Amino acid sequence: MEAWVRAVVEAIHSSRAQAVIYLAGGASQALGWLLSVPGASGSVLEVVVPYSRASMAQLLGKLPLQFTSKQAAEDMALAAFNRALKLSGPGLQVMGVGFTGSLASSRPKHGDHRFYVSTRTQNCLRTSHVTLSKGLRSREEEDKVSSCFVLKAIADACRVSATIQSDVQEPEIPKESVEQFDEDQELQQVIDGQVCMKVYHFADPTEKNFDRKLILPGSFNPLHDGHLRLLEVASSMCDDGFPCFEISAINADKPPLSIAEIKHRVEQFRKMQGRM
């Protein structure tokens, strides 16, 4: 492993961020790099390689119109992000990574050799698209280039400094798009079912090692001392659980909560932060 690759991977593993990674059509070396450096269990939650059409359709719940496309990579990143939210440890930043590529194969391809890599975090969707010069590299070499971009995308999402040595030529400069989400947009995505949850952190879980989450669901309209006491008692019985309150944005036989109402109820916890 090259020294710069190891340095980037070590920084990722030290960042306290956790990722679910979905790859199709390339970037296989990125997985080897991530998993061969100690500390991967703290940053890699799950890796899935949906190579067949059936596997991809099952993963996304639909068949992409085009497998190697910006939309497919972003759909994969969103699915990975939702999975990461469910698997992640308390208080950790999570991300979903989606990669789809059409690289050199055993037979010449009519279309471009290209790939897309997308990362989804709570408030950002970032996608890079690279079209490679045909005939310039072997499949293994193209896979390495795509792996470098996946590693860089993960490092950027972890907010760690990373200078990649991907050996791209001038015509191959990546095209990038970035979409930022504010709190209202994040909550609307939850209401619309695009994202499974939005997490608000009002306590520091790093003060103690927690193996799981201890969740108290409710409407909290309003939040009162009984709620706090109930979770306090539960925490005393399960001291390895990080205490969390859960508000359902959508309930059976009731209209969805409005964004304003969700923010109002969350604000109660912010005001009582010192007591929790």
Question: Residue ranges per domain, the chain?
Answer: 3-180, 184-275
Q: Are 71 and 79 in contact (CB under 8 A)?
A: no
CA nearest neighbour of 242 among 207, 198, 194: 207
Q: Are 262 and 198 in contact (CB under 8 A)?
A: no
184 dihedral zone (left: phi>0; alpha: psi -120 to 50; beta): alpha
Query: Architecture of 3-180 per CATH?
Result: Alpha-Beta Complex (3.90)
DSSP state of 221: T
pLDDT at 91 (0 to 100): 79
Q: Render pLDDT for 80-124 as a digit per residue (tens, 0 to 9).
A: 999 999 999 887 899 999 999 999 999 988 899 999 999 999 999
DSSP state of 159: T
- Joined together, the tokens standing for residue 179 give 């979409």
Q: Encode the chain (276 residues) as per-residue pLDDT tens digits.
A: 899 999 999 999 999 899 999 999 999 999 999 999 999 999 999 999 999 999 999 999 999 999 999 999 999 999 999 999 999 988 789 999 999 999 999 998 889 999 999 999 999 999 999 999 999 999 999 999 999 999 999 999 999 988 888 888 888 989 999 999 999 999 999 999 999 999 998 876 665 678 788 999 999 999 999 999 999 999 999 888 889 999 999 988 889 999 999 999 999 999 887 665
d(C-alpha 132, C-alpha 100), whole Å: 14
- Joined together, the tokens standing for residue 245 give 């309150």
List the Cα angle 248/250/253 in 5-degree steps: 120
d(C-alpha 138, C-alpha 149), whole Å: 17
d(C-alpha 227, C-alpha 133), whole Å: 61
d(C-alpha 175, C-alpha 188), whole Å: 28
Q: Which residue do the tokens 């990674």 mark?
A: 21
pTM (2 decimals)? 0.94
Helix (H) or strand (E) holding 177: strand 175-180
Query: Is the bond preceding 222 in cis, omega lying within 30 degrees of 0?
Result: yes
The DSSP secondary structure of 39-54, one letter per residue, reads TGGGTEEEEE---SHH
Rounded to whole angstroms, what are the CA distances from 25 to 74, 101, 103, 132, 192? Answer: 15, 5, 7, 14, 30
